[in-house]
Structure 1
Amino acid sequence: MPIPTDYTTPIRLSAKERTLTQLQKWIIDGTLQPGEKLNDTALAVALGVSRTPIREAFQLLEVQGLIQTFPGKETRVTTLEKADIIKLYAPLTALHTLAAELATVNCQQEHIEQLRAINASFNKHVKNEQLYEAMEFDEKFHETILHIANNQHILTFCSSLQMHIRRYKYIFIKRPNWESQAAVADHEAIIDALEARDAEAAARLMKHNLMRPIEHLDKMF
């Protein structure tokens, strides 16, 4: 289990939070491969923490579907299954589509400016091939719209689904640059629809954007 030594993590986090964040990143970006066995002692040494934060992180990672623990035996990174991805994207797309429609009612000019700034950062990281950071700004864009929609139930359900599909999203964003640039254009069109308070267009464009990765699923599996 090769473990990188040149990683960076956010400051002002507890050992548990820092450990969870780093393990999530390594699983999502493929540093820790699907099916790979995880050694809590080796990870503790690499991250400079005791085994307790590792074990606490493992519990949360299992809830998020990123690892699977076999008590008394081993812990492994879960594999990516095509059928599971399709099952996850269907409700996620439906919820984000509804959120885009609801957001047109609440969207103010400051929201529009915020979304344009986030999309500009997304575009910048895509062009610089900083793919993990680009993925985070893509998620921030969609999460901002969820907050504008002001429906806590949609936000909660989307948050749960989002973590399960992050690994696939990272694989998708690693595809040819023009495909990620298409996502930037999708975002701009969604912003325009929100600014025009066109609920039908916002919902349609959001659905198109969220379904884009599914269109490429057969090429990746």
Structure 2
Amino acid sequence: MKSINQIPRISLRDQVYQQLRNAIINLELEPGERVNDKLLAEEFGVSRTPVREAFKRLEDEGLIISSPGSETKVSLVDKRQAKDAFTVVASLHELAARLAVPHLTEEHAVHMRKINADFESAIKEEKRLEAIQLDDRFHEVILRASRNPEIMVALERLMPKIRRLELLKFNAFDGMNSVKQHHAIIQSIEKDKSDLPGLLKQNWLSLSSQLTSDTSS
């Protein structure tokens, strides 16, 4: 039947890769923690081959470190690397906002206002992972409105360098300031949107300043 499209299947190696990647990014596997392909293969119920393939991809992304004859470990969080990533991420969100301006509507603003309210609640309740996920959802509205999927592809590669630092340094994060910045972004969408790109860029650079400064705890 021409109207039915084939349902894509995620390969076993991709499933292993995604689960390990998420575990590293969300700190379930901590920086510096040893990872063993044999033990992980047993835990996943697979052969060692997809685990080793996942290790190679994660090493290419800088999330694990391995060398012949030595143990494989989750990489440490590099604050300098995160700061460099923040600079690029901020510029990508600025670009996304410029592209999104013609497509953003009042409905987008209403949706973002609801997300920001949930984000504020998560901040107050110190639910760090939930707060960060809500922040992602807030920004995703503009990313999707940009109608340029390549921006999201680029961010997917960069965000792990930032995400682990966000979780580790959550106590140094001024969440209420971010809530206020989100509010200004929403107000810009409701008005003429002229300052929207700059507000998005500043939101990310402000977070970078908080998390990568020498005084952040």
TM bucket (normalised to shorter chain) is 0.7 to 0.9
Identity of aligned residues (%): 36
* Deviation at residue 107 of structure 1 after TM alignment: 0.2
Question: Structure 1 pair 152/31, CA: closer, same or farther in 2 (3 Å)?
Answer: closer
Alpha-carbon separation, structure 2, partners of 1:147 and 1:100:
10
Report the 3-state secondary structure (helix = DSSP H, G, I; strand = E; otherwise coil) of the residue aligned with 1:123.
helix
Question: Structure 1 pair 49/82, CA: closer, same or farther in 2 (3 Å)?
Answer: same
Cα contact 2:79–2:165 (8 A) shared by 1: no
Cα contact 1:105–1:197 (8 A) shared by 2: no
Q: For residue 5 of structure 2, what is the aligned residue in structure 1?
A: none
Aligned residue runs from structure 1 range 155-166, under 5 A: 155-166=152-163
CA RMSD of aligned residues (A): 2.7
- Alignment gaps of 5+ in structure 2: 1-9
* Deviation at residue 220 of structure 1 after TM alignment: 3.5
Indicate which of 177, 190, 195 corresponds to 2:190. Answer: 195
Q: For residue 175 of structure 1, what is the aligned residue in structure 2?
A: 171
Cα contact 1:104–1:195 (8 A) shared by 2: no
Report the 3-state secondary structure (helix = DSSP H, G, I; strand = E; otherwise coil) of the residue aligned with 2:139.
helix
Q: For residue 6 of structure 2, what is the aligned residue in structure 1?
A: none
TM-score, normalization: structure 2? Answer: 0.80
Report the 3-state secondary structure (helix = DSSP H, G, I; strand = E; otherwise coil) of the residue aligned with 1:33.
coil
Runs of 4+ in 1 over 6 A off after TM superposition: none
Question: Structure 1 pair 165/48, CA: closer, same or farther in 2 (3 Å)?
Answer: same
Cα contact 2:109–2:190 (8 A) shared by 1: yes
The one-letter amino acid of 1:212's match is S
* Deviation at residue 145 of structure 1 after TM alignment: 1.0
Q: For residue 6 of structure 1, what is the aligned residue in structure 2?
A: none
Instruction: Count the aligned residue pairs.
Output: 207
The one-letter amino acid of 1:206's match is L
CA deviations 1:17-49 (Å, max 9, x no partner) are 554444334323434332322112223344455
Cα contact 2:106–2:189 (8 A) shared by 1: no
Q: For residue 108 of structure 1, what is the aligned residue in structure 2?
A: 105
Alpha-carbon separation, structure 1, partners of 2:59 and 2:192:
40
More displaced 10-residue stretch of structure 1: 208-217 or 22-31: 22-31
- Alignment gaps of 5+ in structure 1: 1-12
Q: For residue 65 of structure 1, what is the aligned residue in structure 2?
A: 62
The one-letter amino acid of 1:28's match is I
Alpha-carbon separation, structure 1, partners of 2:185 and 2:196:
5
